[in-house]
Amino acid sequence: MSKNKFNKDWLQDHLNDPYVKMAQREGYRARAAFKLKEIDEQDHLIKPGMVIVDLGSAPGSWSQYARNRLTDLGKKNAEIADGKPDGTVIAIDLLPMDPVADVLFIQGDFREDSVFQELEMALPGGASPDLRRVHLVLSDMAPNLSGVAVADAARMGHLAELALEFAQKHLTPEGALLIKCFHGSGYSQIVESFKKVFKVVAPRKPKASRDRSAETFLLGRFLKTV
């Protein structure tokens, strides 16, 4: 198949995709919002008062969904101002991201000490390490794929490792980490890494994730005590 034919087929599929149409209708920046929505509805991830960190957040659809969900929960709390979320969402990415209402965005590489410190200080209780607690870490990060399976698996594994390290350091004992990964080389190693850290580890393949895609999501819940 020629590259032009492939691009045309992809564009046609994209334009006809019901989740793309739903995203446009509901004001989401990407259809990925519905992947998180399905997993949240299945696993009841987002709860009132949560601190949520969205790693690799651009273009922002996961942050949008998290903010909207917390806002819906805020409507049930008389102490929360009308239209405000009952909780905190902090997003971070190397790439720029258009503002999302009530979401704090940090542009930078959180592997760099200065950016990591900025992220830590942005957390509620940031000046006090013992009070810096996160309830949910989200990561829809994916590397630029080269098509070389071994290299791509290594890149994906590295991103998973970064998210896992951040979660280990900052999650509450009952907290959760949700990441994107791909079936294939390296996937089983990521699962094993999760099992060393979390009491409950479960793969998730929401309907909004295309059947032909190797994309899957891995959910870890409840930190194991050291």
Domains along the chain? 30-223 (3.40.50.150)
* Residue 109 is assigned to a ligand binding site: yes
Nearest alpha carbon to residue 223 among 202, 198, 201:
198
Judge whether 10 is annotated as a binding position.
no
In the block, residue with structure tokens 């009070």: 131
Query: Catalytic residue among 37, 75, 169, 180, which?
Result: 180
* 47 is known as an active-site residue: no
- Is 147 known as a binding-site position? no
What pLDDT score was predicted for residue 15? 60
pTM of the model: 0.89
Q: CA-CA distance, 34 to 69, in Å (whole number)?
A: 12
130-163 burial string, b = 16+ CB within 10 Å, else e? eebebbbbbbbbbeeeeeeeeebbebbbebbebb
What pLDDT score was predicted for residue 90? 97
3-state secondary structure of 12: helix
CA atoms within 13 A on the CB side of 9: 6
User: Is there a binding annotation on residue 60?
Assistant: yes
| pLDDT reported for residue 126 | 66
- With tokens 């050291």, the residue in question is 226
Q: Spell out the long-range contacts of 35-38 with Cβ–Cβ below 8 A and sequence spacing 24 or more.
A: 35/140, 35/206, 35/208, 35/209, 35/217, 36/61, 36/62, 36/65, 36/66, 36/138, 36/140, 36/178, 37/65, 37/208, 38/206, 38/207, 38/208
Average pLDDT for runs of 10 along the chain of length 226: 52 66 85 94 96 96 97 90 92 96 94 88 74 88 73 83 91 95 86 96 91 87 87
Residue whose pair of structure tokens reads 């997003």 in the numeric block: 91
